C-alpha cells in the first residue's frame, strides 16, 4: 500500500509539534529557557478557564511534564515525596515517599522539597538535598535510588537535575570546601540514567554553596555545560569534563539559570543581599527602618531596635519576613551584642541616634555587583577581557532567571519591576512597574507572544512580548506562589502553597 507523501509530512509535523509543545521536562522547561514558543496557553487567566485545582503536599519545586502527567515534590509530615498528577483531570495518580532521613536545615523562607524533578523518556528523576537521587518509571515503579551526602549549604539545596544524552547531571556545590585543602567537596557529577552509576565527576575546589541549575549551551563552536556558581560562571567541555573558561565578577550568592540564544550566553545575578542596581536607591531602606521609630521623632535610637528589628536588605518585604534583613542570633545575649554592633556601625558621630542623612550616607553596597552579561563562545581561561559582549548593572533580579524571547531579555525583580533589555546590545528598552508589588521567586516564562510573571503573593501578570510595555491581563490566585509555572500546548500549570492549578485555553 502506497502512502501519500503529503499525509506523511502532516503526521510528521503534528508529531514534531507535540514533542515541542510538551517538552517541559525540567526546571523552566526546554534547557531551562522558560520558553514554550509553540504553545498556546490562555492569556486571560480566570475561573472561566480553570479546568481543575488539586490539593497537594507543600513544597517549592516547580511542576514538570510528561505527555500525560505532572510531577512535583513535597513534604508529607516528615517524609519527602514525589507526586504524579493527571493532566486530564488533576487526580493524583501516585505518591512515593523517599527513604526516611533527617531533613536538611533550610532557610526560614525555603523548603526541603525545592529541587524540580526531571522527566526523561519513560522515567522521572527526583533529587532531595536531604537524601539524594531517585528514579521512578512514569507509573511510579521505583527503578533505582542513589543516596548522596547532603552538601553543606547556607540556605538548603535547590539545584535541579538536567539531562544530556544518557547522563543525569547534578551540580553539588558545598560549603565544606576548606581553603588550602586538596579535598574538594564541591563537584559536578554525571549519573547514568539507567542505573544511577557515576559516569564522571568534576571537582570544583574554588566553589562554595550555590543555588543555580546548570544548562547546556549549544553554539557554533560546540556544546558546553554551563554552571553559575559563587563568584563566577564557568563553561565545561562535555567530552572531557574539563573546565574551558570562566567569567568572574558575580556575587557570593548566585541563584538564576543562564539562558542562551543568538550564539550568545546570557547570565545574571544580583548583588549580595538582592541589590538590583549598582547604585541602589537608599530611600526604601530608610523607610523600612523608620517604621521602628516609636516616639515619631524621625530618628532611630538604640532602644527602639526591638522585636523584629534588623538591618534591612530587602525593604520590599514585610517586617518579620525571614528575608527582610540581616539574620540575627536567636540567643538574646548574642542578638543584643549584634544589634549593638549594627547600631555603632551607622552611628559614626556617636550621638546615639540614626538620622536619615546618617543612615543613607553609611549604607554599604555589599560584595559583588549586580550583573547581566552576554558572553561570546570560543573562550579559554578567564574570558572577561576577550569574550564579554556587553554588561548591564541595573534591574537585576535576586532569584528569578532571565527570559530570552526573540531579541529581548525579560527580568522581573522584587517590588514588581519588569525590565526589558535588547539582547544584541544590552540596551535597556524599558523598566516598568507591573502593579504587582512584593517578592518574586518564580522566574518569568514565555509563550503565545506573552510573558507570564508570578509574584510570591499569588498575583499572575501577563505582559505582551514586545518593546512596548503592555499588561494584557492580571489574575490574583490569593495564594502564595514560590515555584515557576509550567506550560504545555494549551495549558498553564501553577503551583501555589497547597494546590496545583490548571488553566486551559478553551479556544
pLDDT value of residue 109: 84
Q: Which helix (H) or strand (E) holds 451?
A: strand 450-454
How far is 223 from 304, CA to CA, in rounded Å? 57
Average pLDDT of the chain?
A: 89
Q: Are 456 and 497 in contact (CB under 8 A)?
A: no
Q: Minimal CA–CA distance to 500: which of 165, 163, 86?
A: 86
Q: What is the pLDDT of residues 388-435, one digit of tens each?
A: 999 999 999 999 999 999 999 999 999 999 999 999 999 999 999 999
Of the candidates 143, 405, 152, which has an alpha carbon nearest to the alpha carbon of residue 266?
A: 405
39 and 21 Cβ atoms separated by less than 8 Å = yes
278-303 burial by CB neighbour count: b if 16+ within 10 A, else e? eebeeeebbebbbebeeeeeebbbbe
- Looking at residues 449-472, what average pLDDT do you find? 97
For the chain, residues classed under CATH 1.10.238.10 are 283-361
Q: Tell me what pLDDT residue 377 has.
A: 97
**Whether the predicted pLDDT of 367 surpasses 60:** no
Q: Give residue 78's pLDDT.
A: 92
Measure the CA–CA gap between 111 and 104, rounded to whole angstroms. Answer: 9
Cβ distance 209 to 151 under 8 Å? yes
Q: pLDDT: is 73 or 275 the higher one?
A: 73
Of the candidates 78, 84, 118, which has an alpha carbon nearest to the alpha carbon of residue 98? Answer: 78
The grid coordinates of residue 169 equal: 547531571
More confident residue, 272 or 39: 39
Q: How far is CA 413 from CA 398, 418, 493, in A?
A: 7, 7, 22
**Chain segment 175-231, per-residue pLDDT in tens:** 876 555 444 588 999 999 999 999 999 888 778 888 999 999 999 999 999 999 988
Q: Is the pLDDT of residue 359 over 80?
A: yes
CATH number of the domain located at residue range(s) 1-56+405-507 in this protein: 2.40.128.630
pLDDT at residue 368 greater than cutoff 90 = no
pLDDT, tens only, 253-279: 899 999 999 999 999 998 776 677 766
% of the chain at pLDDT higher than 70 = 92
> Are β-strands 300-301 and 243-248 bridged in parallel, bridged antiparallel, or unpaired?
unpaired
* CATH architecture label of 283-361: Orthogonal Bundle (1.10)
What pairs with residue 373 in β-bridges?
267, 391
Q: Where in the chain is the domain with CATH 2.40.128.630?
A: 1-56+405-507
Amino acid at each position: 500500500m502506497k502512502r501519500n507523501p503529503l499525509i506523511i509530512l502532516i503526521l510528521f509535523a503534528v508529531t514534531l509539534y507535540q514533542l515541542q509543545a510538551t517538552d517541559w521536562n525540567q526546571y523552566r522547561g526546554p534547557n531551562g529557557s522558560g520558553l514554550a514558543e509553540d504553545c498556546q496557553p490562555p492569556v486571560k487567566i480566570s475561573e472561566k478557564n480553570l479546568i481543575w485545582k488539586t490539593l497537594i503536599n507543600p513544597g517549592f519545586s516547580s511542576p514538570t511534564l510528561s505527555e500525560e502527567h505532572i510531577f512535583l515534590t513535597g513534604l508529607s509530615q516528615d517524609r519527602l515525596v514525589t507526586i504524579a498528577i493527571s493532566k486530564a483531570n488533576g487526580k493524583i495518580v501516585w505518591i512515593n515517599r523517599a527513604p526516611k532521613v533527617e531533613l536538611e536545615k533550610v532557610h526560614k523562607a525555603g523548603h526541603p522539597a525545592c529541587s524540580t524533578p526531571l522527566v526523561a523518556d519513560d522515567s522521572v528523576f527526583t533529587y532531595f538535598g536531604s537524601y539524594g537521587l531517585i528514579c521512578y518509571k512514569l507509573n511510579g515503579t521505583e527503578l533505582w535510588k542513589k543516596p548522596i551526602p547532603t552538601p553543606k549549604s547556607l540556605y538548603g539545596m535547590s539545584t535541579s537535575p538536567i539531562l544530556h544524552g544518557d547522563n543525569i547531571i547534578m551540580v553539588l556545590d558545598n560549603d565544606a570546601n576548606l581553603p588550602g585543602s586538596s579535598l574538594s567537596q564541591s563537584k559536578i557529577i554525571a549519573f547514568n540514567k539507567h542505573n544511577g552509576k557515576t559516569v564522571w565527576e568534576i571537582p570544583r575546589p574554588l566553589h562554595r554553596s550555590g543555588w543555580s541549575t546548570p544548562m547546556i549551551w549549544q553554539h557554533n563552536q560546540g556544546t558546553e555545560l554551563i554552571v553559575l556558581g559563587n563568584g563566577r560562571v564557568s563553561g565545561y567541555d562535555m567530552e572531557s569534563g574539563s573546565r574551558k573558561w570562566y567569567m568572574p565578577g558575580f556575587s557570593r550568592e548566585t541563584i538564576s539559570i543562564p539562558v542562551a540564544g543568538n550564539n550568545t550566553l546570557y547570565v545574571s545575578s544580583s548583588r549580595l543581599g538582592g541589590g538590583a542596581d549598582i547604585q541602589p536607591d537608599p530611600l526604601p531602606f530608610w523607610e523600612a527602618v523608620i517604621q521602628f521609630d516609636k516616639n515619631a521623632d524621625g530618628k532611630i535610637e538604640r532602644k527602639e531596635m526591638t522585636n523584629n528589628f534588623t538591618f534591612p536588605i530587602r525593604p520590599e518585604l514585610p517586617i518579620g519576613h525571614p528575608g527582610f534583613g540581616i539574620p540575627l542570633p536567636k540567643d538574646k545575649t548574642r542578638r543584643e551584642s549584634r544589634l549593638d554592633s549594627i547600631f555603632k556601625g551607622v552611628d559614626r558621630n556617636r550621638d546615639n541616634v540614626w538620622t536619615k542623612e546618617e543612615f543613607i550616607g553609611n549604607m554599604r553596597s555589599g560584595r559583588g555587583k549586580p550583573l547581566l552579561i552576554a558572553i561570546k563562545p570560543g573562550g579559554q581561561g578567564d574570558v572577561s577581557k576577550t569574550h564579554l559582549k556587553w554588561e548591564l548593572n541595573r534591574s537585576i533580579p535576586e532569584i528569578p532567571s532571565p527570559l530570552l524571547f526573540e531579541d529581548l531579555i525579560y527580568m522581573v525583580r522584587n517590588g514588581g519591576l519588569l525590565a526589558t533589555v535588547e539582547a544584541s546590545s544590552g540596551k535597556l528598552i524599558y523598566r516598568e512597574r507591573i502593579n504587582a508589588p512584593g517578592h518574586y521567586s518564580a522566574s518569568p516564562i514565555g509563550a503565545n507572544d506573552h510573558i507570564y510573571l508570578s509574584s510570591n503573593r499569588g498575583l499572575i501578570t501577563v505582559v505582551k512580548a514586545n518593546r512596548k510595555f503592555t499588561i494584557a491581563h492580571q489574575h490574583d490566585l490569593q495564594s502564595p506562589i514560590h515555584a515557576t509555572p509550567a506550560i504545555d500546548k494549551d495549558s498553564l500549570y501553577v503551583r501555589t502553597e497547597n494546590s496545583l492549578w490548571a488553566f486551559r485555553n478553551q479556544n
